[in-house]
Structure 1
Amino acid sequence: MVKDKWQSYSIQGNGFIICKEKLKLLKLDLKSWNRDVFGNLETSKRRILQEMEALDSHDCSGGLTESERLRRLELASSLKENEKKIESLSCQKARANWFKSGDSCTRFFHSSLRWRRLRNEVKGVQVGEQWCEEPCTVWLEAKSLFESIFKATKDLGVRLDGVEFKSLSSYHNEGLTAVFLEKEVRDAVWQCDGSKSPGPDGFNFNFIRKHWSF
């Protein structure tokens, strides 16, 4: 499906623009395909649970036939598979949620901010050989530390006369400014964690590796 859709798109421009625009179109087609093939996962879960509950009630009242027992096993397997899909979808939505509202003034942002603030909070400082958590003492020690580090002096102590700065050779400069080879891009993709996504489009490296041939 991905290959057929990818080859059907007609985009003009350089390679980067073509790839970016095709990924945007592919994302829309994948959403439609997911809706047609998998449907609503939560609805499927409720349907499976309802059917399992009906079979369990029948089992308590008079027992199940062999075909009903097999059906019960199939439903349990389907429920497990459905749960995996819901978990995977939740992970993808969490990543998308961060890209969408991670730095916006939202409830999600403020909860992340509070968690980071608690994690980075300075509980106390070592004063001499004693541990102190008194707020005033902690504040004074922090102030004293930064004053000693950033204290201004009359003599800046910076002399650049005669300093030889390191520079790149022509050979290394050509290597840094050369056009990327396909092999170099491929090696970089294969060295990355497959579950990571290089951008907010949501296509992770496993997806790129699987469809690398086209």
Structure 2
Amino acid sequence: MATKLKKWNRTVFGNIHSRKRKLERRLEGIQKSLDGMQHRGLIKLERKIRQEFEDVLHQEEILWFQQAREEWICSGDGNTKFYHAATKTKRARRNQFYLEKEEGVPFSNIEEEEGTIRSFFETLFKKDQESDLLLLNDVSFPTIPATFWNFFNEEFSLEEIKNVVFEMSPL
């Protein structure tokens, strides 16, 4: 029964959120067209789509009521943000997690849990002797020849600065 209802929902009813986005885009396009010229057919179409959009908003509100799993439908409150927050809170309570020992058994007290977390991060950030740079005594770094240093340290001319500034993009 559940699979048939899901199939019916997808084929007959559709996704409320995608329908809402689609109607918003259509309304936006019609309103842009109406800015350029007033057309009687566009005005009628806008009214029809606006009514359809209101219906989808009402359906979305009912969806949030149902997902909040409360008896708030009777209250008639149009604030779906409240019901959305209630749904998220309930979902977070359901999806609580806990730490386990290596054997897969949950910790029995908070001190043991804190000690395990502390030791994990201490070993993670402990100084590694193999990567100590002081042990690299025989490594030589490349040097830059004096001719390059002279080139890099030359003074800039006003013409060079002007060319660079004028070649920059405005932002």
TM-score by length of 1: 0.33
TM-score by length of 2: 0.40
Rg larger in structure: 2
Q: Which has the higher helix share?
A: 2
- Which one has more relative contact order, counting CA pairs under 8 Å at least 6 apart? 1
